[in-house]
Structure 1
């Protein structure tokens, strides 16, 4: 038993799992990442042009922007933020007729080739930069549309959450109302019982105060939810 106890003590302790994020938090992250992707696409093109002109540090900045853009896009396509996980119109937006994912992947590939060409001073650098610049404007429209989809989904989710909260609070308010009625009836019974019912009357009176406070908290929560 002693050896077993020591073995249990020496066993690696499993780290507590991180709490799951709410739908609102997931949509908030998605909007932030989508906005970051939109910003870094323009930053990437700007610093690629500056790097082609020999601006010191511009190439490193452009590479950082590309890495940030790529990471944001990958995060929005995988795991809990993926179109399959968040649902709505995201699958259609990314993989439907607009081919947003294909456009973004092409931009990433074109940017990588352009930056590599600048670094090696390749002969085809001007053509690659021209193609990159020409792709930036239509890509920005695509990224704006995707960000709008995330914002619309977040608004709908927030409205649904407020509606659900209001319904739950309504149920709690109804329970509190019934509890007050029961408490009042109990006080009547205690009063009729005379001396033997005094202690019971005190308890039921405290119960009435508690349900009254609960009712007030429910009303305040409902007002906050629909504000």
Structure 2
């Protein structure tokens, strides 16, 4: 079991990062809500991981804190919710929003997440209500709004940033045409791909 990685952040391609530990580069998929809080490429990062072994792959999912990882593990315990869908859920909304949806039976918001149909949303609400009691009032997944406006790119790289944003949304389960349309609507001059993804996700939930 790989539970924690501490090393040099060598690549950021949302929603995946590569962190080098002892000369080995680990590919880690992270919810975008955690991705926003990562340091810049070349700096040291500490990532708490959830290791998934399948017949065809070994996958690492990463989080900035143990609490974030614990919530992810609770979410994927729900019937019909695997790690990929858990990643999409915790990318599309903050922890407090998810808790609110569960506590207030908000099917309408949950079904906007790719891969979450009405039946899955209903199961999430039924199965998560007891598990989410006692999580507290803090929002585990919200980064400061300033992060959305930071890391601006030169204008010459704007198209690449939009492409990266679209690719990330597709990786999270959104259809390519929908992702491209939303990114084009939220994109602003010199906006980073991470900021575009944040705004696109906010507009779709």
Report the TM range for the smaller structure's normalisation: under 0.3
**How high is the TM-score relative to the length of structure 2?**
0.24
TM-score (structure 1 length as normaliser): 0.22
Structure label with greater radius of gyration: 1
The structure carrying a bigger helix percent of its residues is 1
Higher strand share: 2
